[in-house]
A and B are shown apart, each in its own frame.
Chain A
């Protein structure tokens, strides 16, 4: 499968600021995207998802934006808190033979550090 976001950069933000985490995907056939949060010593936790027929979806303090033209996905966190410190992974479903979400390819991840 094609890769999603090979690098693991670090984003450092001040508490209370907004955070934007980016992800580039390469498979234009992907139809479903997910953001996961992984805290130290834990498994990834689902944050928010978006289908390819949408360009924006909002949750509680989080927004995911999808730009299919440039194959770009972003996660925006409003009023970032210390508890948001974690590694964030994007994932895409590229195996169209199965139900969306059941087969995922993960990006490299971004480490978010929130300074108090």
Chain B
């Protein structure tokens, strides 16, 4: 399985600001994903980060709010833009293995 790290591990931000979350994998992977996990809830897929092309967003998520970069096969970033308290969540990146997905430790975001 891949080793995945995320930065920052947590942050407290003011509303109206933006935060960029980094995801680093120790091996090249084709598919990377970004999820949101709201407090006490399950995981919701935000988008698939595609290397060399624009991310594919799920219903309810838009590029202006959650811009994603994927400059190479080991790295991706997710930006949470113009934050509001409703954006307080854990943000997780994952990578696709042969059959399943492996997750990073998550970034716990609190928006005041």
Contacts and interface: CB of A to CB of B under 8 A. Distances in A.
Interface of A: 8, 32, 34, 36, 41-46, 49, 89, 99-102, 104-109
Interface of B: 1, 4, 31, 40-45, 92, 94, 96-106, 108
Given A89-B42, A99-B96, A108-B41, 15 more contacts: A32-B99, A34-B101, A41-B106, A41-B108, A43-B4, A43-B92, A43-B103, A44-B103, A99-B99, A101-B96, A101-B97, A102-B96, A104-B45, A108-B42, A109-B42
Contact of B31 (A36, A100, A102): A102
Contacts of B103: 36, 43-45
Contact of A42 (B96, B98, B102, B106): B106
A100 B31 CA distance: 13
A20 B8 CA distance: 35
The 5 closest A-B pairs by CB, nearest first: A43-B103, A101-B99, A101-B100, A102-B96, A106-B43
B99 A49 contact: yes
A102 B104 contact: no
Contacts, number: 54
A42 B107 CA distance: 9
Contacts of B45: 104-105
Contacts of A102: 31, 96, 101
Nearest to B30: A102
Nearest to B35: A106
Q: Which of A34, A100, A102 has the most CB of B within 10 A?
A: A102
A27 B37 CA distance: 22
A8 B105 contact: no
